[in-house]
Amino acid sequence: MEELKDIESLLPPGSNVSEIRYEGSDIVLYTDSKDFFLDNSETVRNLVSRLKKRIEVRPTAKLFKDPENAKEIIEENIPDEAGLEDTIFQPSLGKVILRVKRPSRLDNSEEIIKENSLWSPQFERVPAIDSKVVDKARELTVEDPEFRKKFLHDVGKKIRLDKSVGDQWVRISSLGGFRQVGRSCLLIQTEESNVLLDAGIDPSAESGSQENFPYLNAPELDLQDLDAVVLSHAHMDHVGMIPYLYKMGYDGPLYCTKPTRDLMIMQTLDYIGLAHSQNNSAPYDSSAIKEAVKRTITPDYGEVTDITPDMRLTLKNAGHIIGSALTHLHVGEGLHNILYTGDYNYDTTETLRQADTNFQRVETMITESTYGGREDKQTSREDANKQFLSKVKQTLSKGGKVIVPVFAVGRSQEVLALLADEMDRSYFDYNVYVDGMINDVNALYTAYPEYLSKKIQNKVNRKSSPFLKENIKPIGSHNERKEVYDDDACIILTTSGSITGGPIMSYLQQEASDPDNTLIFVGYQFAGSLGRKIQNGADKVEIDGDKLEVNLDTSTVSGFSAHSDRQQIINFTKNLRSTPNKVLTNHGEKKNCFSLASSLHKILNIDTSAPQNLEINRVN
């Protein structure tokens, strides 16, 4: 706590700072002085320069106006076109959260509100699509600010414990997702710290079996000693077991981007609901999700954040789904640097920018190898678009239905963005039905356009969002599917992406026997999944005890993948600002992990390996 005492001694006379607290990696000064609250830039600049920490000044209850008066001031000073929808006061934090439809129309509202209400305003964009699921997720993010204030202060104290950082070891334990796709999980340890990266499920494994979950019972992992968890993105093979950690007693911070936090809530709640609908039990309930959200810290891309006494975290765009992040850990004072890619795409897509390569130092890289095999070359995005649209138009022209099994997060939005372009270019009057959680994810995409490609941002600014087309029709119940069945020619985007459950099963039962229909695969089909079997040519399948004939046309368009292919992974590694000394491959079938590791060794003349689950690698 010496650091806080140092700040107190450096404050100017009249600052009237009554409380100095940690807020995770940051420091917050609470002041009773109106003048200091409104004019503190020079003091903050000097403190930041000296301490190398982010510092914020907020008002105390003695200063800010009561919420009723403050709300009047806020409403008077936010333009109607900005569309204020909700005002959430958090007195213990000195903040007011303002949810608006169009933040770009605020002009100088923030400064005016701050000056006249003496609250610290924080703006959030309201989704352009109504979604009860997104509303529920956002409710959870603002619950219990008093708890959050104490929690973040305790995290800050732990980060700044006076521990020695010198010559020490760094090791990586493979707890899931190595030589396989699914249940991604790894543990990074030093003499001082224990940090878990991801904790997912294997969607293709039998529900409730050991193969469904990562090795959270490994002797190296003790939840009581765990300092932090970092989540790369919110696909279930990376996020599915995060709430379980909190159910089993972990009570520390979870680091991820804001979209990933919101998607985590949506995905895991959906996972519980799906398990119950199939008469299975999920390994946790909604209370565990709440515990995770209350402890989530959301750095922006590129923001350096202390997460333990000897580790600093930087998240950067991974180009995989909205909010997905490459995870960079700086260990010690220059001791070692680890880059965990999670899932990433080194290509610009319809909705996202390509993965970032700007890392000053990387000694060890852990890279996915989903498409790391020797024959894994994806179709270019331009050719994939043409191939997809050609198959779609061919099917629609003969009155058939196009069924596209997609992951609710990522692939759905890529396909919709392509179809929206087609709607903009020509007269396209076919209905595009979206079933499962897709429309809820679309709503979330509209809340975070800053995480999307420049192309989509420009469309949003021109009020031409690809997610708001009249042709796009969300399906919210079993009864509404009758409308889809009765439609002669249409497009159906539905979960799950690898046909392991969800609404896709109903559509196959209804439509698989009709040869005029087409099933288009645009994503990875997990080994053992029903999707993989159909992709490999199965002409009969079983769903809910019923044997179905698969007569519809099937097609695979690989260029829609949100993963890098083999050459893109090689290019990414070569183009990193700092070439790694060692590469570990994961998140791929066994042969792909070995093949990619071998090629990277030959091309870059560096140490590579393809660890197996429960293997430990010392990297320093």
- 54-58, 73-77, 163-167: range with lowest mean pLDDT: 163-167
Q: Is residue 568 part of a domain?
A: yes
5/295: higher pLDDT: 295
Residue 246: pLDDT above 70? yes
Q: Which residues, at least 6 apart from 593, have a Cβ–Cβ distance to it below 8 Å?
A: 178, 179, 369, 372, 585, 586, 610
d(CA 339, CA 330): 9
Same domain for 498 and 443, yes or no, is yes
**pLDDT tens by residue, 309-334:** 999 999 999 999 999 999 999 999 88
Residue 54: pLDDT above 70? yes
Listed residues 23, 38, 59: the one ending a domain: 59
d(CA 405, CA 473): 16
**Band of residue 162 on the pLDDT scale cut at 50, 70, 90:** low
Residue 489: pLDDT above 80? yes
Q: Which residues, at least 6 apart from 239, have a Cβ–Cβ distance to it below 8 Å?
A: 198, 199, 200, 231, 233, 260, 263, 264, 267, 268
The pLDDT of residue 1 is 63
Start-to-end C-alpha separation, the chain: 31
Same domain for 517 and 612, yes or no, is no
Same domain for 35 and 92, yes or no, is no
Sign of the torsion formed by the C-alpha atoms of 477, 406, 490 and 445? positive
Q: Is residue 435 part of a domain?
A: yes
Same domain for 445 and 351, yes or no, is no
Listed residues 543, 560, 577: the one ending a domain: 560
**pLDDT tens by residue, 176-186:** 999 999 999 99
Which residues span the domain enclosing 45?
2-59
Same domain for 45 and 84, yes or no, is no
What is the average pLDDT across 444-450? Answer: 94
**Band of residue 208 on the pLDDT scale cut at 50, 70, 90:** confident
Same domain for 493 and 540, yes or no, is yes
Q: Which residues pair with 337 in a beta bridge?
A: 330
Q: Is residue 211 part of a domain?
A: yes
State if pTM tops 0.75: yes
Same domain for 291 and 420, yes or no, is no
Residue 598: pLDDT above 80? yes
Q: Where are the alpha helices (DSSP H) in 369-473?
A: 381-397, 411-425, 438-447, 454-461
**pLDDT tens by residue, 36-46:** 999 999 999 99
Same domain for 319 and 337, yes or no, is yes
Q: Is residue 6 part of a domain?
A: yes
Percent of the chain with pLDDT strictly greater than 90: 78
Same domain for 251 and 112, yes or no, is no
The pLDDT of residue 104 is 87
Residue 165: pLDDT above 70? no
Q: Supply the CATH number for residue 399's domain.
A: 3.40.50.10890
**What integer best gives the mean pLDDT of the chain?**
93
What is the average pLDDT across 14-33? Answer: 95
Q: Supply the CATH number for residue 80's domain.
A: 3.30.300.20
Q: Supply the CATH number for residue 573's domain.
A: 3.60.15.10
Listed residues 59, 80, 98: the one ending a domain: 59
Q: Using an 8 Å Cβ cutoff, are 320 and 410 in contact?
A: yes
Same domain for 307 and 239, yes or no, is yes
**pLDDT tens by residue, 553-593:** 999 998 888 899 999 999 999 999 999 999 999 999 999 99
Q: Is residue 95 part of a domain?
A: yes
Place of tokens 């209350």: 294
Q: Is residue 83 part of a domain?
A: yes
The pLDDT of residue 337 is 97
Phi and psi (nearest 5°) for 452? Answer: -100, 175
Q: Supply the CATH number for residue 10's domain.
A: 3.30.300.230
Strand 325-331, strand 311-317: pairing: antiparallel
Q: Is residue 42 part of a domain?
A: yes
Strand 311-317, strand 304-308: pairing: antiparallel
**Band of residue 379 on the pLDDT scale cut at 50, 70, 90:** confident
Q: Is residue 137 part of a domain?
A: no
Same domain for 349 and 498, yes or no, is no
Q: Where are the alpha helices (DSSP H) in 248-317?
A: 258-277, 286-294
In a 3-state reduction of DSSP, which class is residue 57? strand
Residue 164: pLDDT above 70? no
Look at phi and psi of residue 142 and say left if phi exceeds 0, alpha if psi is from -120 to 50, else beta: alpha
Same domain for 318 and 173, yes or no, is yes
**pLDDT tens by residue, 110-146:** 999 999 999 999 999 999 999 988 998 999 999 999 9
Residue 167: pLDDT above 60? no
Count of structural domains, the chain: 4
